[in-house]
Amino acid sequence: MKKSLLFWQFAGFVFTGVVGTLLHFLYDWTDSAFVALFSAVNESTWEHMKILFFPLVIFALLESRYFAKDYKNFWCAKLVGIMTGLTVIPLMYYTYTGVLGVSADWFNIAIFFIAAAVAFIIETRLMKSEKNFCLSSTVAIVLLCIITVLFMIFTFATPNIPLFEDPITKTYGLV
């Protein structure tokens, strides 16, 4: 099993890229409140974090069937990888737009893929590490569940802070 970890992580990167791209447009295609729970409802940084988060978590659930027993720190590695990927998006976006004063669609797309790559690289390194940094897989899973709920809640009860503001329409959440 351990020899195929790199293959699975690469497959996860591809899965995240494809599903995340679809989630970017899915709400516009369906106009469904249910779909809004896990897909982008606007162009805010938060919504771009959401379309990274859900494919990463879905793939982690699929991958856990094969690796959770072999890698005792599987869920902790996934949590750290996902949180790192989620951090990369606003960090890169606000840095480059702050420096350049403009936002480029092609670079925003690149940020999504860079964040996904970083998440999978971190996860792979942590899973392969001999160090047991994981206090509890249960705690990692609970934290991922809390983050899931927050993404869903903030779709409908959106805080009025820049992270949630659509830079195009200057609105928050569902309009």
Per-residue pLDDT, averaged over 124-150, amounts to: 90
pLDDT in tens, 99-124: 998 888 899 999 999 999 999 999 99
State whether residue 172 is helix, strand or coil: strand
Residues 6+ apart with CB under 8 A from 60: 75, 78, 82, 144
- Residue 171: φ, ψ to 5°: -110, 175
pLDDT in tens, 58-114: 999 999 998 888 888 999 999 999 999 999 999 999 999 899 988 888 999 999 999
pTM exceeds cut of 0.75: yes
pLDDT recorded at residue 1: 44
Q: Can you say how many angstroms the Cα of residue 37 is from the centroid of all Cα atoms in its chain?
A: 14
**Where residue 3 falls among pLDDT bands split at 50, 70, 90?**
low
Yes or no: say if 11 and 116 are a contact pair by the CB < 8 Å rule.
Answer: no
